[in-house]
C-alpha cells in the first residue's frame, strides 16, 4: 500500500477531536524529549519513538474506541503521526 493510501486510512482511525489532540500533545512531548536528550545524554534519543504512545493510545482507547495504527504498521503509523501533526499545525485538520 502506498503511503498516500495508508495516510487516508490512518485519518479514518483519527476522526475524534480529542484523539487527535492527544496525538498532537504526544508529538510536542516528543520534541521536548528530543531537545532534553540532546542536552542530557544522546543515548536517550533511542527512546524518542516511544514518547508519543501513552498519549496516542489513550486517545484511541478512551475516545476513538479503536486499535492504534501502530499495531499494524508501526513505521507508516509513525510517519503518519508527523504528517497529521504538521497538518494540524497548518490548520488543515480540525483542532
Residue at 11 is within a domain: no
Sign of CA dihedral 25, 75, 31, 7: negative
Residue at 52 is within a domain: yes
Residue at 6 is within a domain: no
The total of structural domains in the chain comes to 1
Say what the pTM is: 0.91
3/78 Cα distance (integer angstroms): 12
95/89 Cα distance (integer angstroms): 9
Residue at 21 is within a domain: yes
Which domain does 84 fall in, by range?
Answer: 17-90
* Predicted local distance difference test score (pLDDT) of residue 61: 97
Residue at 40 is within a domain: yes
* Predicted local distance difference test score (pLDDT) of residue 54: 95
* Predicted local distance difference test score (pLDDT) of residue 95: 85
Q: What is the mean pLDDT of residues 67-95?
A: 94
Contact 34, 48 (CB under 8 A): yes
pLDDT tens across 26-74, in order?
999 999 999 999 999 999 999 999 999 999 999 999 999 999 999 999 9
Phi, psi of 91 (to 5 degrees): 90, 10
Q: Which three cell numbers stand for residue 36?
A: 532534553
Residue at 55 is within a domain: yes
* Predicted local distance difference test score (pLDDT) of residue 62: 97
* Predicted local distance difference test score (pLDDT) of residue 13: 96
Residue at 37 is within a domain: yes
Amino acid at each position: 500500500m502506498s503511503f498516500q493510501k495508508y495516510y487516508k486510512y490512518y485519518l479514518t482511525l483519527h476522526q475524534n477531536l480529542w484523539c487527535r489532540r492527544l496525538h498532537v500533545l504526544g508529538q510536542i512531548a516528543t520534541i521536548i524529549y528530543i531537545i532534553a536528550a540532546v542536552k542530557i545524554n544522546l543515548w536517550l534519543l533511542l527512546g524518542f519513538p516511544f514518547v508519543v504512545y501513552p498519549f496516542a493510545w489513550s486517545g484511541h482507547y478512551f475516545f476513538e474506541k479503536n486499535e492504534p495504527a501502530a499495531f499494524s504498521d508501526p513505521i507508516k503509523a509513525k510517519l503518519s503521526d508527523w504528517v497529521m501533526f504538521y497538518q494540524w499545525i497548518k490548520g488543515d485538520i480540525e483542532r
